[in-house]
Amino acid sequence: MKKANKQILIAVTGGISAYKACELVRDLMKKGHAVSVMMTPEATQFVTALTFRTLTNQPVIVDMFDQDLSWDPCHISLAERADLVAVVPATANFIAKLANGLCDDISSCVIMATKAKILIAPAMNDNMYSHPAFKQNLKKIKTFGYQIVSPIKGALACGKTAIGHLATVSEISREIEKLLK
């Protein structure tokens, strides 16, 4: 196996498209990157931590207070070793947290603590995506230097076809590669 190119941390939040993060993890690993995963508790309702642990052969962090045998504030150590953090999918709730500096889970704490590049791939219902509060939050996180991979028109969980569908895994992967150069 070749040496890992970059350290990529994937934050999975609680949206139906969380299962697509599995495909993204595999794609990035095939490209030689070291990939670790952290999940919001809501994300575990859609995909299990065991799935990501199996794909990455790495522990998956869901609870900021998970105990291990060493003293290592994990949100700081994860933040410091990441070259890039990608939030896939990024829910409206999670983006609101980022926009307002709310750190109440491992993923939001790591993003607040890191100096790594940040990529956000929103996915949500079209009404949520077009809501003025969401648009304001998205605009605000762009001022932080976060790269956004916009959602596309596609099938939504509610049954409609509209803007809000997670961008394709290949598009997200391409944007990650661009940011890592």
74, 103, 109, 158: which one is catalytic?
158
Q: What does each of the 181 residues of the chain score in pLDDT, given as a tens digit?
A: 445 689 999 999 999 999 999 999 999 999 999 999 999 999 999 999 999 999 999 989 998 776 554 445 455 677 778 899 999 999 999 999 999 999 999 999 999 999 999 999 999 999 999 999 999 999 999 999 999 999 999 999 999 999 999 999 999 999 999 999 8
32 phi and psi, to 5 degrees?
95, 5
- Asked, for residue 1, whether it belongs to a domain, the answer is no
The number of domains in the chain is 1
Please give the model's pTM, rounded to 2 decimal places: 0.92
- Asked, for residue 87, whether it belongs to a domain, the answer is yes
CATH code, domain with 136:
3.40.50.1950
Quick one: angle between helices 92-100 and 106-113, nearest 10? Answer: 40
- Asked, for residue 13, whether it belongs to a domain, the answer is yes
- Asked, for residue 2, whether it belongs to a domain, the answer is no
22 an active-site residue?
no
Domain of residue 147, residue span: 7-180
Rounded CA separation 13/89 (Å)? 6
Rounded CA separation 72/94 (Å)? 25
